[in-house]
Structure 1
C-alpha cells in the first residue's frame, strides 16, 4: 500500500505481496507435508517423483492446489561430473575421454528422471550467441571406451575392471543429496559394463563442498550457478589450479587456455568476446575434464489456487515463478482474496474444483522437440 514504486515502468503490476514470510524447514519431505496442510503457499515440483507421483494427492486432485510447468530459455547450470586432473588416473586425456563415454546419462534420464530432464551438451548452454551450440556431449559408447583405454595402455582385469600395473580404474564420486542417489546408482551399474568402478560417497552438502574446494575429490558430482555472460577464469584458469578454495575443481592448467581466457576477460569488443567464448568452450570440451549431465530448462510448481499469474506466467529468464524480489523476473504473482475465501469454504464443505495443470511453452528452447504431457 502506498508504495513509491507502484507506477514505475518496470515495477508496475509487480511485487504485489504486502509481506513475505520465510520458514526454515531442512527436510524436503517435511516441506511437502507442510504445503499440503496449507502452511506453505507453494512447493517446487522440478524433481520428477514429486510432479508425477507425490502430487497425486487430494489437495491437487480436488483442485485446491494447481500445478504449473513453465519453460524458460535462459542460462543453464553446469551440472555434471568434474574430473580432478591432479589425481594420477585423470592426468591422461584418453582416460578422461573413456570415462565420459562410460557415463550412460541417457539411461538415467529415461529410467530415473522419466524423460523430464534433458541432456546438457556443455557447461555454457543458454547464453545466446555466447554459447557454442556445435558441441555435443559424449554419449555412452562401449567401443570408444575400449579404444581410449587401450590407447592409454590399460587392459581388463579378471573382474572386468580396467587395470594398468598396480592401478585399477576405480574412482570415488562425491555428492550431497539423497535424491541423486538413484541417478548415480544407474551410472555406476552402466560404468561397470565399461570396466570402470564408481564408488559413490554421499556426504552432507557442506561436507561435499568442503572436500571439493580442498581438491580432495576424484570426481565431483555438482552443478554451478549461472551468470549473465559465460565465466571461465574461476573454473579453468591455471591461477586457480592446484590450490584449495578456488572453483577450478578440475585443476585445469593449460597455457593456451590461459591466453584465451585472459583475452576474453580483457576485451571490450562484443564480437571478439563471442568468438573467444566459442573457442574456449570447444577447448574445454577437447580437454575432457567435465562430463555434462542434465539441464532443466523450466520450473515446475504446486501452489494454492488463490495465487494468480499473468496470461504468460513468467519471462524468458524466469527460473522461479515465486521469486518475490528479483528485479528482472520476480514479483509477477498476486493474491486473490475471493479465490482464497472460495477455496477455504469449499474445503470445509467437502466441495471440489476441477484439477488444474498449466503447461506453458511460450519460451521453450527450440532444441527441445519432445511433446510435453
Structure 2
C-alpha cells in the first residue's frame, strides 16, 4: 500500500513460514453454533469457517508480516500507474481450479461483477468504483476506476475468484450445500450440515510450488466441529476431540488448564504476542432506535458501565481497556489529548457536527471499581436529565411517560459477554433503566443483526495497520438502511465519510496516518460502542504434535498464520 514490498523479487518463502515443513497430519478446530450453507459470499445462510481461506484463491496473497503488502498468486504480474487510476492483472498460465480446468480471465471478470452486484455488501463498495473492465489479452484484464482510491488495486487483488461455469443456470444468492469449486490448497472432503466440515489438502494443487506458498498448507486435513456453545467446545478440547483452542480469558488461562492432557505434556500452552491495533469490542448502541439517538444518553450509559468492576470480576483485572478503535498502535488517538497539526486541520471543516471530545480530546469514564459506582451514576443521571429522561417512582421516563427499557442481544455460549452484560443490567437499575439480556442461537443472531433488529448487542471489529475500503462498510451511511452491512451502530457521519475517502486517496504515509487518527477521534467520541477489554497477546493451547515456525509475523495470531504455516510432527 505504501513504499516497497519487504521481500525481493526472488524471495524463497514468506519470512514467517518454514519452506521445509513436512506434510501430513491434521488440525481440528471447534466452533459454537452451526451452518446451513456452503456459499460464504452471500447474505443468505450461515457458512462454516474455512471455505474462503482454504478452497478459494485470490489474484494476490497478503503477507501478515507487513501492514498491507500483496504478492502474486493467481496473478503472475500486476501493472498500475503512479496514481493507481487503473490496474491490470495477468493470470498465471498454470493456474487451475480443483477440477483441473484453467482459471480464465472470464472467471475473474464474472467473479468480480457477481460478487459486486449479488454478493455480500462488503464487495459492492469496490465494484461501484470500477468505471471500465477490459480484457487486454488472453490472460490479462484491466480495471479502470472512477474514484481516487489508491487501495483499489490491492482490494481487487484480494477478491475471491470463482469458477463461472459452476454457477450457470443457478441462483448465486441462494444458500446451497454444494461445495464451491475453487483453486485453493484444499477441497471440501466431508460435510455434516450444521455439525462439521473437513477440508482435504489437494495433492494436485497448482500453486504448491509458488514462493508465496512454500511452507504453507502443510496439514493434510483441516476440520471444524460445531457445538452448542463455547463451554461445550472447551470440554471437547479437554477430551481431545479438537486439537487447538484460543483462550480469551486470562483468569481461565491460569486456572482451567490443569487437566490431564496439559499436565502430561500432550497439550502445549503458548502466548503469542502481536503488534496490531486493539480494534473495537464492546456493547454497541443501535442509534436507529430513538432512545439511543442522543449522544448524551449513550454517554450516560457508558458512565454506568462499571468496566473496572466487570474486568476484575471476569478477568482478574488483567487485560487493559480499549481506549479507541485504533488504540495500541501509532494510528490511534491519544486518550484525552487534543487534536494537533494536520489532524486538527482535517477535523476543522466538520467542527459543527462533531461531538464533544473529537477535537479537544476524549477519555472514557473510569469508575472507582466499587459496585455502587456513585460518582459515575451521578454523572449519568445529569446527562439523562439533560436529554429529557427523569426518574418517577424509580422508573426512568421521558416527557411522554415512556419508560427507558431495552434489550441486550447476545449469542448462546458467549459466557464472558453474558456475564458482563448481567453485571451491567444490575448497574442500570440504579438509573431506573429496565435492561434485559436475551440469548439466541447463531442463526437467529445473524438474522437479527443482518437486519439491525436489536437495541444493543456484542460488537467486535478487528482493525489492521492499514485500514482502507472496509471502513466504509463498517461506518458508512449506506448501512443505516441497507441490510447486511457492518455498520451495526447506524452511524451517519459526513466527517467519517470524508476522512475515509482521504485515507484512500493519500499517497503520503504521514497524510494517511493523520486521516486515520482523525477518523479514530470521530468514532471514539461518537460514543457508539461501550468498549471492553482487549488483549495484546493470543493464548493458544494445542496438541503436542502441532508445530509452527519460531519467527512470528507482526500481526501475530491472525488469519494467515494458524493453520496456514503450521505442520504436524511427532
Q: TM class by shorter-chain length?
A: 0.7 to 0.9
Going by fraction, where is strand more abundant, 1 or 2?
2
Partner of 1:25: 226
- Partner Cα separation in structure 2 for residue 112 and residue 172 of structure 1: 22
* 2:244 and 2:540 in contact (8 A); partners too: yes
- Residue aligned with 1:109, SS: helix
The verdict on how the C-alpha distance between 1:154 and 1:29 changes in structure 2, with shifts beyond 3 A counting, is closer
Query: Hey, what's the Cα distance between the residues in 2 that align with 1:264 and 1:167?
Result: 43
Quick one: distance in 1 between partners of 2:549 and 2:18?
13
**1:303-322 maps to which residues of 2 (within 5 A)?**
303-308=542-547, 314-319=552-557
- Aligned partner of 1:88 in structure 2 is 290
Corresponding position of 2:176: none
Report how far residue 171 of structure 1 moved: 1.5
Counterpart position of 2:57? none
Is the contact between residue 268 and residue 542 of structure 2 (CA under 8 Å) also seen in structure 1? yes
8 A contact 1:67–1:300 mirrored in 2: yes
| Residue 182 (structure 1) aligned to one of 410, 415, 419 | 419
1:1-373 alignment, distance < 5 Å: 8=13, 10=15, 11-13=17-19, 15-18=21-24, 19-27=220-228, 28-48=230-250, 50-126=252-328, 128-134=329-335, 136-140=363-367, 141-178=376-413, 179=415, 180-230=417-467, 231-308=470-547, 314-319=552-557, 323-325=562-564, 331=565, 333-337=566-570
CA deviation after TM superposition for structure 1 residue 145, in Å: 0.4
**1:215·1:243 contact (CA, 8 Å) conserved in 2?**
no
Contact 1:170/1:196 (CA < 8 Å) preserved in 2? Answer: yes
CA contact (8 A) 1:238 1:251 kept: yes
Return 195-204 or 48-57, whichever deviates more: 48-57
TM-score, normalised by the number of residues in structure 2: 0.52
Query: Matched residues in 2 for 1:193 and 1:14: separation?
Result: 61
Structure 1: segments with no counterpart, 5+ residues:
326-330, 338-373
Distance, in Å, in 2 between the alignment partners of 1:15 and 1:6 is 17
Distance in 1 between residues matched to 2:500 and 2:517, nearest whole Å: 11
Q: Which moved more, 1:6-15 or 1:147-156?
A: 6-15
CA deviation digits over 1:73-93, x for unaligned, max 9?
213342112212221111222
Q: What per-residue deviation string (whole Å, max 9, x for no partner) do you get for residues 169-220 of structure 1?
A: 2111111142122121111112222333322121122322321221222112
Q: Which residue is equivalent to 2:54?
A: none
**C-alpha contact (below 8 Å) 1:86/1:242 kept by paired residues:** no
Specify the SS of the correspondent of 1:223: strand
Q: RCO greater where, 1 or 2, for CA within 8 Å and sep 6 or more?
A: 1
Contact residue 411 and residue 442 of structure 2 kept, 8 A = yes
Contact conserved, 2:410 with 2:438, CA < 8 A, in 1? yes
CA distance in 2, matches of 1:31, 1:153: 46
Whole-angstrom CA distance in 1 between matches of 2:398 and 2:543: 56
Q: Is the 8 A contact 1:175 1:222 kept in 2?
A: no
Deviations 1:227-285 (A, max 9, x none): 44235322223233233222222221233333333333333332222112111221222
User: In 1, Cα distance between the equivalents of 2:521 and 2:14?
Assistant: 41
What do residues 308-330 of structure 1 show as CA deviations (whole Å, max 9, x unaligned)? 55556x343212697021xxxxx
**Is the 2:450–2:484 Cα contact (8 Å) retained in structure 1?**
yes
Alpha-carbon distance change, 208 to 21 in structure 1, aligned in 2, over 3 angstroms: closer
**Contact 1:15/1:324 (8 A) holds in 2:** no
Change (3 A) 1:9 1:285: closer
- Answer whether contact 2:388 2:399 (CA < 8 A) is retained: yes
The Cα shift of 1:51 comes to 2.0
Distance in 1 between residues matched to 2:245 and 2:426, nearest whole Å? 32
Match of 2:39 in 1: none
CA distance in 1, matches of 2:515, 2:311: 32
SS at match of 1:263: helix
For residues 237 and 11 of structure 2, the distance between their equivalents in structure 1, rounded to whole angstroms, comes to 30
Give the Cα separation in 2 of the matches to 1:23 and 1:254. Answer: 39
Q: Distance between the aligned counterparts of 1:62 and 1:9, measured in 2?
A: 34
Partner of 1:355: none
Deviates more, 1:44-53 or 1:142-151: 44-53
Greater helix content = 1
Question: Counterparts of 1:14 and 1:197 in 2: how far apart (Å)?
Answer: 60
Q: What SS does structure 2 have at the residue aligned with 1:143?
A: helix
Contact 2:325 2:523 in 1 (8 A): no
**In 2, Cα distance between the equivalents of 1:102 and 1:242?**
29
C-alpha deviation, 1:54, in angstroms: 3.0
State the aligned residue count: 325
**TM-score by structure 1 length?**
0.77
Aligned Cα RMSD in Å?
Answer: 2.9
With over 3 angstroms needed to count, the CA separation of the structure-2 counterparts of 1:9 and 1:161, relative to structure 1, is: closer
